[in-house]
A = this chain, B = another copy of it.
Amino acid sequence: MEVTTDLIHTGTLARDASHVLTVLSTAQKDAALLAIADALEARTARVLAANAIDIEAGRAKGLSAALLDRLLLNEARIAALAADTRKVAGLPDPVGSDIESRLLPNGLRVTKRRIPLGVIGVIYEARPNVTIDIATLCLKTGNAAILRGGTETIHSNSALAQVIQEALAGTAVPATAVQYIDNPDRELVGQLLRLDQFVDVIIPRGGASLHRRCKEQSTIPVITGGVGICHVFVDESADLQQAVDIVENGKTHRPSVCNSLDTVLVYRPVAEAFLPKMAERLKRHGVELRATADALAMLQQAGHEARLAGPEDFDTEWMSLVLGVKIVDSMDEAIAHIRRHSMDHSDAIVTRDFANANRFVNAVNSSAVFVNASTRFNDGGQFGLGAEVAVSTQKLHARGPMGLAELTTYKWIGVGDGHVRK
């Protein structure tokens, strides 16, 4: 697949903009963010008019009310985007801080300093707020961004990108620091994924198939994540009341997100005491249980409804009020199940046993492992990072919630006085 001249032009402009951005002060970047916030408010009408075209097209295509609501912008939502942008301007800037410094025996001082990643390509689906969200986080950290959103919001996204560029024109940040690919041809995504001459990192924000496509096709390093099959293991020594609370929270607090709970594993000796309690609580929320045969029998004996789990059910990220239930005969079996079915996102144990807690924490290498806490805590806001770019489940660079620091890399600076290597 050839990269079209247009994307090469986009890439060149982004690369040049990143060279300007890398030497700007925090004050200059923050002033640009405040200009974007002001412009969002001043040009709300224009953005809403563009959004109305997307909504109209979505209705004509018969999109569901829930999806249309995700696409919708209104005055309150744009005001919230402006407020979020001002909040990002107020966050500490990680760029320029020294991570470590060593004075070598020969007198050469080497220092590891945070710098921007460079040019970030972001591919996302549906919600237009991501355009503002990711652009402001990239600018704050001195990165240029090439954005490609879903076709359902192409008019909204283009209008938002235009507002950003107009706002930047009066600041120290080049307008080309944020560019939006507004050609709906899907092949451009494939071309963006091969623009390694200009783009340093690809961040996909969407479902499993988008992440898979990026992994398969990209010649640029990709940060994958945002997809998880999350487990809670209820140990023999668990406080069963806590276990019920943690399962309820994980499953029902916000079922459509990646850190929500998908499977409960129960140690057999406590299954008969725990499962009916859990089912009772989840019934209030209308949760459907998919249980292994032995668990199903216990649940039905206690008068609860459930369905027999098929084997693929334990490899499903539910994103809805469905929960897999399995009885295990040992913690080793629980750990083995998690290793086989988890996607390295968030897994938890409920236990009062110190040794069991440690063994679980050591053996399970998900991006976040919890003891006596809900999987829902694997989140940048909860971890106090101030902002969240994505939740990474890969091994390189960043794992778990990615904040501003995770949008930076570092360089080594060696300062000598005519030092040469002997």
A: which residues have CB within 8 A of B? 19, 22-23, 102, 104, 108, 110, 115, 117-118, 196, 200-201, 215-216, 219, 221-223, 239, 241-242, 245-246, 248-249, 253, 339, 357, 361-363, 365-374, 376-378, 382-384, 394-397, 399-401, 409-421
B418 with A245: CB separation less than 8 A: yes
Q: Which residue of B lies closest to A400 (CB)?
A: B412
Known: A201-B395, A373-B414. 15 other contacts (CB 8 A): A22-B365, A102-B383, A104-B382, A108-B373, A242-B417, A246-B420, A366-B411, A369-B411, A371-B415, A372-B415, A376-B420, A377-B419, A382-B421, A399-B409, A399-B410
With the chains together, A361 CA to B382 CA distance in Å?
A: 36
Q: Which residue of B lies closest to A104 (CB)?
A: B384
B246 with A418: CB separation less than 8 A: yes
With the chains together, A249 CA to B422 CA distance in Å?
A: 8
- Contact partner, A418, options B372, B396, B417, Cβ 8 Å: B372
B418 with A239: CB separation less than 8 A: yes
A412 with B369: CB separation less than 8 A: yes
A22 with B363: CB separation less than 8 A: yes
Contacts of A366 in B (CB 8 A): 411
A32 to chain B, nearest CB (A): 19
- Contact partner, A416, options B200, B371, B396, B412, Cβ 8 Å: B371
A253 with B421: CB separation less than 8 A: yes
B418 with A221: CB separation less than 8 A: no
Contacts of A108 in B (CB 8 A): 373, 377
A414 to chain B, nearest CB (A): 4
Q: Which residue of B lies closest to A376 (CB)?
A: B421
A89 to chain B, nearest CB (A): 22
With the chains together, A365 CA to B142 CA distance in Å?
A: 13
A395 with B416: CB separation less than 8 A: no
A233 to chain B, nearest CB (A): 15
A396 with B409: CB separation less than 8 A: yes
Q: Which residue of B lies closest to A241 (CB)?
A: B418
For the complex of A and B, list the 5 residue pairs with the smallest distance between their C-beta atoms, beginning with the closest.
A373-B416, A249-B420, A242-B418, A373-B419, A376-B421
